[in-house]
Amino acid sequence: MSAPTLASAAAATSVGLKNPVIAGVLAFLVPGLGHFYQGRRFKAALYCICILGTFFTGLRIGHGQVVYFQWEDPENRTYAYLCQVWSGLPALPALAQARLRSPQSFDEDVFPENLSRSFVGTIEGVEGELQGVLSISRPADDRSRRREAKFTGKLVSASGESPVEGELAGLGIGPQVAPSTRRGVAGYFQGKQTAARADTATPLVGRLAGSIPRPVWDWYEAPLRDVDGPRMSSLDQAHRDLGSRFELGVVYTMIAGLLNVLAIFDAVHGPAYGDEEEESRSAADSTASGPEPKSN
């Protein structure tokens, strides 16, 4: 059997990279997409599953709070994000949250013009959980910052459910943008509770505390704030609640970004030691064409 020629060896290890620049950009945006563009589907699936799986596993371990961007304060710069950002599109919203949001978006007690959201909470001294709709609006003839807040829903307790409606005074609300799926609401509730099997209504008053849902664009990769004040900052609270899971989530997401750097290099320059998929296809073609004729 004759030894393989240089031409056959090059054919076995050559990879059709198409446009390497496009492949590199696609590989950065979505891990594996550049390889899919080149027709290297096995590697595309491998990179996509492994890298994105590692990234979102870390995000899940850290309760969605371990990927964010902060560069203004030298003492709390997120150097880890320099690795995380290479995960592509899943990590890019952190830049938008930090750069495109107004400063008021991160402040408490900044009320929207009108808001209507599902609400879950409790009233101090009252058994059961409030479930319903909280509506916040500004009176049409009032130019001040005063807001009207009304609740309509039900009180769910061990004895059953009963309709509840009322208003909130001294309303307080959490920031619009924060790394939590729920936005805290507190105030003093004044309303009435209608008995489930009667037409009589009884007064219902007390300190109310609960939350409304945040849209995904208001919490995904929102920055953790480390500001001085009477309350615990969101960064300190995240470390308190998560403990070592916070650092573990950071490490997972950093590893995902660094792995994608290798994938981007592979998409732009090709494999360092040949492409197994291309070699297997070349071997299959050689088998189909039959053995080479022996030289005399």
Say yes or no: 47 and 84 in one domain: yes
Residue finishing a domain among 155, 188, 223 = 223
Say yes or no: 192 and 141 in one domain: yes
With DSSP H G I counted as helix, E B as strand and the rest as coil, what are the percentages for the chain, rounded to 5?
40, 25, 35
State the Cα–Cα distance between residues 216 and 265, nearest whole angstrom: 32
Say yes or no: 122 and 48 in one domain: no
Does residue 280 sit within a domain? no
Does residue 116 sit within a domain? yes
Query: In the numeric block, which tokens belong to residue 165?
Result: 């409606």
Say yes or no: 233 and 166 in one domain: no
State the Cα–Cα distance between residues 288 and 108, nearest whole angstrom: 71
Does residue 296 sit within a domain? no
Using only C-alpha atoms, the chain has a radius of gyration, in whole angstroms, of: 29
Torsion of CA 235, 238, 239, 244, to 10 degrees: -140
Which among 280, 267, 283, 273 has a CA at the least distance from the CA of 27? 267
Say yes or no: 146 and 243 in one domain: no
Per-residue pLDDT of the chain (296 residues; tens, 9 = 90+): 444 444 433 433 456 788 999 999 999 999 999 999 999 999 999 999 999 999 999 999 999 999 999 988 888 889 999 999 999 999 999 999 999 998 889 888 887 768 899 999 999 989 999 999 999 887 666 565 667 899 999 999 888 888 999 999 988 999 999 999 999 999 999 999 887 666 677 889 999 999 999 999 999 999 988 766 556 678 888 889 899 999 999 999 999 999 999 999 999 998 866 555 555 555 555 555 555 555 54
Say yes or no: 197 and 94 in one domain: no
Amino acid 14: pLDDT = 58
**211 DSSP β-pair partners:** 120, 184
Domain residues for the domain of 209 are 106-223
Say yes or no: 175 and 233 in one domain: no
Q: How many domains does the chain have?
A: 2
Say yes or no: 211 and 119 in one domain: yes
Say yes or no: 54 and 94 in one domain: yes
Does residue 288 sit within a domain? no
Does residue 278 sit within a domain? no
Say yes or no: 232 and 216 in one domain: no
Does residue 249 sit within a domain? yes
Does residue 139 sit within a domain? yes
User: Could you give the residue ranges of the DSSP H alpha helices within the chain?
Assistant: 6-13, 20-29, 33-37, 41-61, 81-84, 93-99, 216-219, 234-242, 244-269, 276-289
